[in-house]
Amino acid sequence: MSDFVNEFWNWYVILGVLVSILACGVVLWMQSIHHPSHEQTTDTTGHVWDETLEEFNNPLPKWWMWLFYATVVFALIYAVLYPTLGGFQGVFGWSTAGEHQKEVKSVEDKVKPLFDNYLKMDLKAVAADQKAMEMSGRLYQTYCMQCHGATAQGSRDQGFPNLTDADWQWGGEPAQIVETITNGRMGMMPAYGGNPDAIGGEAGAKEVANYVRSLSGLSNDSALSAKGKTKYETVCSACHGQDGKGMQALGAPNLTDKSWLYGSSEAKIVETITQGRANQMPPWKDFLGEAKIHLLSAYILNLGAGANKQ
């Protein structure tokens, strides 16, 4: 990528623009000197149709020529005033990014008092405010829908959590939701497939998978489950707990409920154990700011995974 931002490409663009503009001027000048008198002549191009229909070789009208000269002059002036010539920002220093920032700042200046008003309110009080929920719903559709979906039910294929159920990987208290959106989260399940001493390879992973399925009341092979229990208690309980209820401080999921981030089939659980999982919730503090995060947190709290979730 660095090859496209070095000084060569800067000059390549500058010369390309200037040569193109000046070439247009030269072509116009050559057309104007073809007939110095600029008067209509009887010269023809030699093309004849229907025996008598001839194509005359007359110069362009003066007003047309000067109109084209004006476009060349305009192009040169524009190149000086606005960013056209490579890295040169133009006399006005205008940029699309700068213009966008001005527009964003103009809007934010208008809505900031409203955001600040909600920021002073308790998160549960904001969640109960209809107007606040309409605003935060639009924020969700803009910033969160791409991963968690329009209905906030997530995606198992990608490992994006469902925000409407009663399951929280990192905790569902107001402060925990704010922390998740503000600073992000990094979920990591180590891969045990390459460490046969820990799990016993894929066969051992299958045993553990059957035991894990038994924890949430899913169908399982009792013989494999019994073998998997020992491996679970030795390796997996450090994060998920002896009872399998997980540890929100680490983001270790509860294995005893009916919520599965990547799927509950034996094959999916074996895949998780052997290959591991890595999933990140990006931090939004620098992009959204405290006030918008406060509104979004209230919206998440109100999604039916609401204020009473633990």
Q: What is the pLDDT of residues 209-246, one digit of tens each?
A: 999 999 999 999 999 999 999 999 999 999 999 999 99
Indicate if the pLDDT at residue 46 is higher than 50: yes
Angle at 165 between CA 161 and CA 166, to 5 degrees: 110
Quick: pLDDT tens for 102-151: 898 888 888 888 888 999 999 999 999 999 999 999 999 999 999 999 99
Indicate if the pLDDT at residue 3 is higher than 80: no
Set out the domains of the chain in order of their start, with CATH numbers.
2-81 (no CATH), 126-301 (1.10.760.10)
Share of the chain above pLDDT 90, in %: 56
Return the closest-CA partner of residue 111 out of 135, 127, 133. Answer: 135
How far apart are alpha carbons 270 and 287 in whole angstroms? 38
Q: Can you give the pTM of this predicted structure?
A: 0.68
Q: Is 100 annotated as a binding residue?
A: no
How far apart are alpha carbons 275 and 252 in whole angstroms? 16
> 């990140």: which residue's tokens?
280
Q: Which residue has the higher pLDDT, 206 or 307?
A: 206
34: pLDDT confidence band, cut at 50, 70 and 90? low
Q: Is 281 annotated as a binding residue?
A: yes
Q: Is 35 annotated as a binding residue?
A: no
**155 beta partners:** 160
279: pLDDT confidence band, cut at 50, 70 and 90? confident
Angle (deg, nearest 10), helices 285-301 and 96-119: 40
Note whether 21 and 75 are within 8 A (CB).
yes
Q: Is 239 annotated as a binding residue?
A: yes
Q: What is the mean pLDDT of the chain?
A: 87
Q: List all residues 6 or more positions away from 64 whose beta carbon is below 8 Å from its beta carbon.
A: none
Query: Hey, what amino acid is at 144?
Result: C
SS3 24: helix
How far apart are alpha carbons 253 and 241 in whole angstroms? 10
Q: How far is CA 190 from CA 19, 198, 203, 272, 276, in A?
A: 59, 12, 17, 9, 5
19: pLDDT confidence band, cut at 50, 70 and 90? very high
| Region 271-292 average pLDDT | 92
5: pLDDT confidence band, cut at 50, 70 and 90? low
Indicate if the pLDDT at residue 97 is higher than 80: yes
pLDDT of res. 41: 54
Q: Is 236 annotated as a binding residue?
A: yes
The first and second tokens of residue 79, run together, are 């190149």
pLDDT of res. 259: 86
> 């934010």: which residue's tokens?
108
| Region 300-305 average pLDDT | 79
| Region 90-98 average pLDDT | 89
Instruction: Classify residue 213 by burial, with Cβ atoms within 10 Å: 0-12, 13-18, 19+.
Output: buried
Count the neighbouring beta carbons within 10 Å of the beta carbon of residue 269: 23
Q: Is 24 annotated as a binding residue?
A: no
Q: List all residues 6 or more positions away from 263 whose beta carbon is below 8 Å from its beta carbon.
A: 156, 269
pLDDT of res. 95: 87
Count the neighbouring beta carbons within 10 Å of the beta carbon of residue 203: 12
Q: Is 144 annotated as a binding residue?
A: yes
How far apart are alpha carbons 126 and 107 in whole angstroms? 22
Cα-Cα-Cα-Cα dihedral sign, residues 176, 180, 186, 188: positive
H or E element in which residue 89 lies? none
Indicate if the pLDDT at residue 304 is higher than 70: no
The first and second tokens of residue 59, run together, are 């110069």
| Region 285-299 average pLDDT | 94
305: pLDDT confidence band, cut at 50, 70 and 90? very low
196: pLDDT confidence band, cut at 50, 70 and 90? confident
Count the neighbouring beta carbons within 10 Å of the beta carbon of residue 116: 12
